[in-house]
């Protein structure tokens, strides 16, 4: 926090604490507050994504939105964050869960992980009407991971009265929320931005691992492992949707 760094190379300062968690290195220096103890028998090479993308998606559903058993949810974007939200909804015994995702590979994984319905927006004439049809008029919660204003506009209108929209997608700097205020008023809609799933990692990461041990949170199905030397292939696999969450192994 004071601007210093414990890492130097040839006398030059190395800044390597992006987001206090991200580095390509064989070892990491972390503050105690950024460190979570896990059981030694857990597969450590799979746990890294829990600290950011998985925690963000799962925490958004469990903590920020407070989804309960039977609640319906529409997820916009089937990447690592969106599919982690799906996993949490299933761990919490959510009802109808609709995933909107154009990539065929990601859509297939969404179905495997328990999505009730998957909508391909590039092949669906009216995504909003399709969500309303599948959800019996709409959904209790919507979760946007895209940051695309036109998508957020659909998410707002897909909500049932009293519904809540959660957003994590990074929008363009000039983007405005494309919502009809009178429509939101009539339905009592809430829209909120979410950071890291409103999670306390010290408690929520163990919660997710408890779900994993119980067979209710198979986040390992999102992960593909690559040797560090194949970092470019890992990036391409993520871009194509062949792998949801690549993990590099030294």
Question: Residue 236 domain-assigned?
Answer: yes
Sorting pLDDT into bands at 50, 70 and 90, what band is 131? very high
Write the pLDDT tens digit of every residue in 3-60.
777 778 898 887 766 666 666 778 777 778 888 999 999 998 899 899 889 999 999 9
Q: How many domains does the chain have?
A: 1
Looking at residues 149-160, what average pLDDT do you find? Answer: 97
Tokens linked to 113: 């992980």
DSSP string, 6-61: S-EETTEE----BTTTB--SSS----GGG-----TTS-HHHHGGGGTHHHHHHHII
What range defines the domain where residue 109 resides?
30-250
> Please, what is the average pLDDT of the chain?
93
Question: Residue 155 domain-assigned?
Answer: yes
Write the pLDDT tens digit of every residue in 103-115.
999 999 999 999 9
pTM of the model: 0.92
Question: Residue 23 domain-assigned?
Answer: no
Beta carbons within 8 Å of 30's beta carbon, 6+ residues apart: 20, 21
Task: Identify the bridge partners of residue 97 per DSSP, sorted by sequence position.
Answer: 73
Question: Residue 16 domain-assigned?
Answer: no
CATH code at position 74: 3.40.50.720
What's 219's DSSP letter?
A: G
Q: How many whole angstroms separate alpha carbon 180 and alpha carbon 199?
A: 30
Tokens linked to 89: 């909804």
Question: Residue 209 domain-assigned?
Answer: yes
Sorting pLDDT into bands at 50, 70 and 90, what band is 248? very high
Q: How many whole angstroms separate alpha carbon 160 and alpha carbon 155?
A: 11
């Amino acid at each position: 926090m004071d601007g210093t760094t414990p890492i130097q190379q040839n006398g030059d300062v190395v800044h390597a604490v992006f987001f206090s968690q991200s580095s390509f290195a064989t070892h990491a220096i972390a503050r105690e507050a950024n460190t979570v103890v896990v059981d030694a028998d857990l597969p450590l090479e799979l746990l890294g994504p829990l600290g950011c993308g998985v925690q963000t998606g799962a925490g958004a559903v469990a903590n920020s939105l407070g989804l309960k058993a039977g609640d319906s949810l529409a997820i916009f974007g089937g990447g690592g964050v969106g599919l982690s939200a799906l996993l949490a909804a299933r761990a919490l015994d959510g009802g109808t869960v609709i995933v909107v995702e154009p990539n065929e590979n990601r859509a297939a994984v969404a179905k495997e992980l328990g999505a009730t319905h998957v909508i391909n927006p590039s092949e669906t004439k009216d995504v909003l009407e399709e969500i309303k049809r599948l959800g019996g008029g709409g959904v209790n919660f919507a979760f946007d991971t895209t940051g695309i204003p036109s998508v957020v506009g659909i998410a707002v209108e897909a909500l049932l009265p009293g519904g809540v929209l959660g957003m994590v997608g990074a929008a363009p700097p000039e983007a405005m929320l494309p919502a009809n205020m009178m429509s939101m008023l009539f339905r009592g809609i809430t829209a909120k931005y979410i950071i890291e799933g409103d999670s306390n990692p010290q408690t929520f990461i163990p919660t997710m691992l408890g779900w994993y041990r119980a067979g209710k949170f198979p986040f390992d199905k999102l992960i593909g492992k690559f040797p560090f030397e194949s970092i470019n292939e890992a990036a391409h696999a993520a871009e194509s949707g062949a792998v949801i969450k690549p993990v590099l192994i030294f």
